[in-house]
Amino acid sequence: MRRSVPLRLAQFVFLYFAAALLPCSHAQQMPTLRTRTNLVLVPTLVEGKAGEPVFNLTAKDFLVADNGVEQKIHLDTETYNQPISIVVLVQVGRSAVREFYKYQGLPTMVDALAGNNQHRIAVVEFDSQPRMLQDFTNNSDLVEHAVYSIQPGDDGAAISDSVWYAVDMLQDEPPQNQRVIVLLSETRDHGSRTPMTEVLRKIGRSDVIVYSLAFSAGRADLFDFSGAGDGPNLLAPVKMAIAALRKNAAAAIPHMTGGQYLRFNSGKQLDSEMGMLANQVHNRYILSFQPSDPKPGLHVLSVSLRQPLDVRVLARTSYWATSTAAIEEDAPSPGPR
């Protein structure tokens, strides 16, 4: 006897939800489905002439424009002692082996970056692909062992693929944690296979801040990102972002996220730069807004103060908007997890 349509539908629904509740041994082969909201977080640092943080600003002091349109913003005032999750992303391919001796104090520097807050630190090395050396932990000894276990890699420096991989790791961290990537690499990407538009999309949909410390000073380091959030760039934001990634990935990615791009030539200078970053990480204003025009795609952001002051404002310059009702299938992360 032929089963009725309602019965078959009921069986399908039952089997679907039963499968979702069972442990899945093939989880890595299945797509991850996530719902998205349209709340955009904009971590923002305001510094004085000497690099000192400027405190006591309110939401009314900031002007945030999304594709040139001013937004109604909220300022989160409950950020004191916010937990933090950090991925230390270290290039080991190409000429990176010449830099290894400069990393002697890196575990201590990362501890200083985390500060006294609750923290979880992971270590990932990369050449033509990323490899996790240490999953998230609050054990400093394990972090130190992972850093000192790095070995020379192949002739690749897949910066974009590796940042993608680190963003994926951070997405699984507790939602209340600040998410940070510390990237130690040369300036240009060599060997990433992920399409650049997808890289922009991945970074733009995350709340990750990337801090980059580049060990290869040269012409590419002089690439100027000033004005990247200004009006004229709205003509072709994706093309401009891709051009920036190709020219100097180590600088372009932090610029998108509101992080910082620095160079170092010695272990002592690396220590100094990490100390400066530690000051930045814990003194940011957390602005947020719901876009008035959440058109899917890359949006250009600009953040400034309403009253002109002799300060520097450092904030993310773009984000990738998606439909609030959409359920999207995330692409797999490059490299093994």
DSSP 131: E
Token pair 């424009």 in the structure block, residue: 65
Averaged pLDDT of the chain? 82
Residue 76's beta-bridge partner residues? 286
Instruction: Tell me, yes or no, whether 91 lies in a domain.
Output: yes
Same domain, 145 and 263: yes
Same domain, 270 and 158: yes
Write out the residue range of the structural domain in which residue 296 sits: 37-78+283-327
Same domain, 204 and 58: no
Same domain, 243 and 107: yes
* Tally of domains in the chain: 2
The contacts of residue 67 (CB under 8 Å, 6+ apart) are: 234, 293, 299, 300
278 close to 180: Cβ distance less than 8 angstroms: no
CATH of the domain at 322: 2.60.40
Same domain, 219 and 72: no
Same domain, 73 and 133: no
| 244 pLDDT higher than 70 | yes
The domain boundary residue, chosen from 279, 298, 319: 279
- Say which amino acid occupies 194: T
Query: Residue 59 has what pLDDT?
Result: 95
Please name which of 68, 103, 99, 74 lies closest in space to residue 88, comparing C-alpha atoms.
103
Query: Residue 331 has what pLDDT?
Result: 52
Q: Where are the beta strands (DSSP E) in 247-317?
A: 261-263, 285-289, 297-305, 312-315
The contacts of residue 52 (CB under 8 Å, 6+ apart) are: none
The contacts of residue 251 (CB under 8 Å, 6+ apart) are: 187, 212, 214, 221, 223, 225, 244, 261
pLDDT tens digit sequence for 273-289:
888 888 888 888 999 99
Handedness of CA 244, 250, 256, 258 (dihedral sign): negative
DSSP 87: E
* Pair of tokens at residue 11: 């069986």
Same domain, 128 and 265: yes
| 76 pLDDT higher than 80 | yes
Question: CA-CA distance, 251 to 178, in Å (whole number)?
Answer: 21
Please name which of 96, 238, 70, 98 lies closest in space to residue 162, comparing C-alpha atoms.
96
Give the Å distances, CA to CA, from 161 to 151, 228, 242, 286: 19, 23, 14, 27
Query: Residue 329 has what pLDDT?
Result: 42
Query: Residue 216 has what pLDDT?
Result: 61
Note the pTM of the prediction, 2 decimals.
0.80
Same domain, 107 and 202: yes
If you average pLDDT over residues 54-83, what whole number do you get?
Answer: 90
Within 10 A of 267 (CB to CB), how many other CB atoms are there?
A: 16
Query: Residue 275 has what pLDDT?
Result: 83
pLDDT tens digit sequence for 149-164:
999 999 999 999 999 9
335 close to 165: Cβ distance less than 8 angstroms: yes
CATH of the domain at 129: 3.40.50.410
pLDDT tens digit sequence for 305-331:
998 888 999 999 999 987 644 434 445
Phi and psi torsions of 318, nearest 5°? -160, 165
Query: Residue 81 has what pLDDT?
Result: 77
> Which has more pLDDT, 204 or 218?
204
pLDDT tens digit sequence for 13-60:
444 444 444 444 443 443 333 334 578 999 999 999 888 899 999 999
